[in-house]
A and B are shown apart, each in its own frame.
Chain A
Amino acid sequence: MNRYRVSICLFLAWALVPAAQINAQAVSSKGQQIYSQQCASCHGDNGGGNEDHYDEVLTGDLNVEDLAEVISDTMPEEDPDLCIGEDAMAVAAFIHRKFYSPEAYRKLNKARRELSHLTVRQHRESISSIIQAFNHELWINNEKRGLSAKYYAASHAKKSRKLKEETTATLDFPEKVPHFRKDRKYEGVKEQKLDNEIGIGFSAYWLGGLLAPESGNYEIIVKSRNGFKLFVNDTEKPLIDQWVRSSDDLEHRANVHLLAGRVYTLQVDMFTFKDDSATMELLWKPPHGVESIIPQRALLPSGTAEVAVMKTSFPPDDSSTGFRRGVQVTEGWDNATTNIAMEAANWVVPRIWRLAKTKPTADDRGEKVKAFCRRFVELAFCKKLSVEETQFFVDQHFEDDLSLTESAKLVIMLALKSPRFLYPGFESRSESFERARRLSLFFCDASPDKKLFEIASRDELKDDKPLNKQSWRLLYSPLGRQKLQGFFHDWLQFDEAAEATKDSDRFPGFDDRLKADLKQSIDLFLSDLVFEKEADYRKLFQSDAFFTNARLAEFYNLGDIEGESFQPVADKNADRFGVLTHPFLLSGFSYHNETSPIHRGVFVSRRLLGRTLKQPAAAVSPLTEEFNPKMTTRERVAHQTKEVACMACHKIINPLGFSLESFDAVGRFRDKDKDKPIDAKSTYKTRGGSQVAFNSTKDLADFLASSEDAQRNFIQRLFQFYTNQSVFAYGDDQLDKLHRKFVDNKFRIHDLLIEMADVVVKN
């Protein structure tokens, strides 16, 4: 009883005055004493753990008060009554300051910028970018979508028989290709028999670019009974060649690996001769997507030079610290770097004449190929080569009895296997080149493009103005947009969310196609918010826009919307709060037949608020409805997690998850669960210890928008994703500085990125 009173008093004291102002010295020395007597044997002197007893590092983000409560309730494990009340508080205060708190942990484990090698994505993208620098830049008009089309009244493109030249939104002609006439009577085409083909043949040519929304394997499907060739990226070799139709198969499929954020030439040639019909459908199955007609938004009316897409597989990047880093030098990685260097060389060799802007028979081919090679190495190393380096990396390979192509092969392999390419920080370079390299890796995860390399060659990146201009350009480039989308996918755990499957009896209509629509919907929301609107971070949780097409509108009861294309609407059934209530995530963090406040709560606490949660001590299967059919999901979760050992984390998790209970397992609004009204009220205790009451989902959304914890978490994650380094490697106060600027700039995400780029380039 006595002990109880003491602890109440202390509680009050802690609540009234900041911890540091209490008799810290005394508490701390008492805490240290208790720690070494009761805790250190398992947790180690500095919380580093002990292989035999507890091998995890003792660190986390509970405040002293909550930490004391956990200690009081659960420690030491063999006798939790041994350290309670004042003692627990003293220990908590001591370890919090010494090593437990994130700040203390960082002081003990000082972050530094490591010399890392390229990540897998950077490796692939860099090789594509280096080779891309030898082609003309493609200017993408963001307004124009669809393919260029030409139709002829002849079985080949004959100028005098051209019927029409136009742009087509998609290739979706299951009945009849435009302008084809079964009766073969084409207006303006004379009936007289000029040759044996008049009025019989018909051909169509569709040309343009394909935008890949994601990196990975794309299955391309053509449905047609006519003769056709399909080219994707490679304009020499068709991906599907059915020019000769020797069977009745309607469908033809092929796979192609594409990197996101790049444009690929797409070309379909088809002809008929003595055929009574002409049909054409062009479909795809993108990574994680469903088979559908390639949508207009993925088609461009102009083509481009072939993109070098490397297929070599790599072991995954180290992400043990929560973000990808190029720090592992394993045999698998080393082999992959060798294989990709060979793959790149073998890709270049057959195309060397075009890339080097010469011909195999031209007199200047030797000089041109050599110049190409030198430029290749310079792009790979992001610098100008010295005389000695030119000799080592380029010239010496042209002095043998080797053919030009063999020489070029050696140069490319050498450049891509060199530590100068693999480790961007391996050598020093001029300030402009160094800035170009950092800027390009920061915004695009790739080597500098042609423009940036040229600006750096002119030493123009030393000044802030051109630097800033290039930052904005790269941020809005296709690769830049791609990287930001990649961040959102990573941050919001798209991969996990995309795994959701639903009970088809309970949620009929929630199928793969709907899921693909949901993913498209949230992607459009994000890119609209960041690239079309003011990029206000707070709108991530406070926008009511729900991008929807006909299928989503029907499933979520959003009103009359027609067609495949998406438009933002407000949900008349419920208030929506940006990504927080987007059904893609709400359904992703639910079970197949009911919601999961725990998954949702963990997602919000870890991903959106940046809380550290330990793994549960033991794997527990959730209580199912059969446990008590009358209990709501919330009641069951509360029941199952009420134990003291669970509550250490679940008192953070549960309130966050409960406040989303107004949305069912597919993200539809509901007001009842098991015939009881939904209870979405809860109280959350912040890292700092203050209590926040959520009366509805809106309160949670507003809290996320305004919480400094959430904002700092966003900044830290964004920084780590963009730089592959810890934000604290750029100064203990770097996060604070960036946060101040973020607030000053009205939470604009693109301003934040430009700010970060500046930090990275100048430090």
Chain B
Amino acid sequence: MTARIAASIICGLIFGTGLVISDMINPARVLAFLDVAGNWDPSLAFVMGGALIPSAVAYIIRGRHSAPLLDSRFFVPANASIDWKLVTGAALFGLGWGLVGFCPGPAVAALSTGRWEAALFVAAMLVGMSAYRFSLGRRLPNYNFR
């Protein structure tokens, strides 16, 4: 377990560094990408493109192994059905993201700057997650992990 926690911290360190270097920590930059009818800033497309390369390589490597290095199995959902929860949830997330330019990763990273706006957003986000957990999310999820 200690090794897995250490791996989580290291991956988090790299992730947070990436969010700062790419400037995705800045909601104005994200909104400028989403503003296709305005002064469009393509940065986020380069971030996504850059991120997909090593991520895809890792998923290809994963296909050749039955378990990850530090755990007994992979916890990757095999569910392929596009249901109303996925569609509604993604639409709601897009709405909230477009309103202020924060998604979960950058909002957490922005806590490091001490900006109260980030803390307020993250606090509200956790309340929203609780609202789901204690309403529709009460039932145990039936993920079929491959």
Is chain B a partner of chain A in the same complex?
Answer: no
Chain B residues packing against A (C-beta within 8 Å): none
